[in-house]
């Protein structure tokens, strides 16, 4: 892919297609205002499903990713689609039909996702992401899985998914450069070199009160994650200029470090609280340092 992906979360179902169009148009205008339009190669649309009741921001039912993509492609002309598809609630027949529809709609890469936070294993007994990347080798050219470099046992888990047929890995939001040492260890033990879709998330001041990002990355008892949470809290309490500088510095350290290891790299840009001018300014500064695609690739 070698792409820059912009993640857009589908709006609430009850707001309807009018709000979906408004959300998509506003995002495109933000990107255009900050010089991001020609830099974006894909829009990433996550499939939103109910999660842990402790989520600090309530999660109302959202528009289906496929329906939202049909709206988004009208605002982002010439941009391709990526999506995240939860697999564990479907049997083979239903998941195969879903994948067929996604591909027919122009989605050229799918990240297969497992059990959400707080869902009992018994309620998520469908297709695993490992099985999905093997199942759709011939149907989906870019087959992704989620990579969480701070998670216990992730090296073995990641190696197994690559063996089954994953061609890229979508990282969890990165708030440390631990991904560099993780991939260095992975490269030393295997010849697999999947594309790494590095996810960077903007941290607005509202995080200090709401702590949504803190919840998104949390892993109780994990010291590596605790350090990332402390970094997020520091960013939320900083001035916009300090925040932007710290995030660009983190971006620089990660892309320089991973770039030395022989993995193809892409970038995924996320705004957990919604796309804003501050987020777009930060993303533009990141891409000024390094981008996997030329700024003039699309127009």
Q: Is residue 247 part of a domain?
A: yes
Q: How confident is the model at residue 202 (pLDDT cuts 50, 70, 90)?
A: very high
Question: What is the distance between the alpha carbons of residues 272 and 188, in angstroms, rounded to a whole number?
Answer: 34
Kindly report, residue by residue over 217-240, the tens digit of the pLDDT.
999 999 999 999 999 999 999 999
Residue range 139-177, pLDDT digits in tens = 999 999 999 999 999 999 999 999 999 999 999 999 999
Residue 116 banded pLDDT, cuts 50, 70, 90: confident
Assigned domain for 295 exists = no
The percentage of the chain sitting over the pLDDT mark of 90, rounded to a whole number, equals 85
Q: What are 249's two structure tokens?
A: 């510095």
Domain that holds residue 190: 4-289
User: Are 282 and 214 contacting, i.e. CB atoms less than 8 angstroms apart?
Assistant: no
298 found inside a domain? no
Domain count, the chain: 1
Lowest mean pLDDT among 55-59, 69-73, 236-240: 55-59
CA dihedral 52, 18, 106, 141 (to 10 degrees): -20
Instruction: Assign residue 33 the CATH number of its domain.
Output: 3.20.20.220
Residue 7, both tokens: 């993640």
Are 282 and 31 in contact by the 8 Å Cβ rule? The answer is no
Tokens of 91: 């049997």
CA distance 9 to 21: 13
pLDDT band at 289 (very low <50, low <70, confident <90, very high): very high
Mean pLDDT, residues 234-256 taken together = 98
Whether 299 is covered by a domain: the verdict is: no
User: DSSP letter at 150?
Assistant: T
């Amino acid at each position: 892919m070698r792409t820059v992906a912009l993640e857009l979360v589908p709006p609430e179902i009850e707001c309807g297609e009018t709000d979906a169009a408004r959300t998509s148009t506003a995002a495109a205008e933000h990107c255009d205002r900050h010089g991001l339009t020609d830099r974006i190669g894909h829009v990433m649309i996550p499939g939103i499903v109910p999660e842990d009741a402790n989520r600090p921001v309530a999660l109302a039912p959202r528009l289906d990713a496929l329906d939202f993509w049909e709206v988004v492609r009208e605002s982002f002309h010439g941009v391709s689609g990526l999506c995240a598809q939860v697999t564990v609630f479907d049997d083979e027949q239903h998941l195969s039909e879903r994948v067929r529809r996604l591909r027919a709609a122009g989605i050229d890469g799918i990240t297969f996702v497992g059990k959400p936070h707080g869902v009992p294993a018994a309620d998520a007994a469908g297709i695993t992401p490992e099985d999905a990347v093997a199942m759709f080798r011939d149907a989906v050219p870019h087959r992704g899985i989620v990579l969480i470099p701070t998670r216990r046992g992730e090296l073995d888990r990641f190696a197994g998914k690559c063996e089954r047929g994953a061609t890229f890995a979508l990282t969890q939001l990165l708030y440390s450069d631990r991904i560099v040492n993780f991939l260095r260890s992975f490269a030393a033990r295997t010849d697999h070199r999947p594309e790494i879709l590095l996810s960077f998330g903007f941290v607005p001041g509202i995080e200090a009160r709401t702590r949504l990002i803190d919840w998104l990355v949390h892993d109780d008892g994990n010291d590596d994650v605790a350090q990332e949470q402390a970094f997020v809290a520091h960013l939320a309490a900083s001035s916009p200029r300090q925040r932007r500088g710290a995030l660009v510095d983190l971006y620089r350290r990660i892309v320089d470090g991973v770039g030395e290891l022989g993995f193809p790299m892409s970038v995924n840009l996320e705004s957990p609280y919604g796309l804003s001018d501050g987020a777009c300014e930060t993303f533009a500064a990141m891409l000024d340092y390094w981008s996997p695609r030329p700024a003039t690739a699309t127009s």
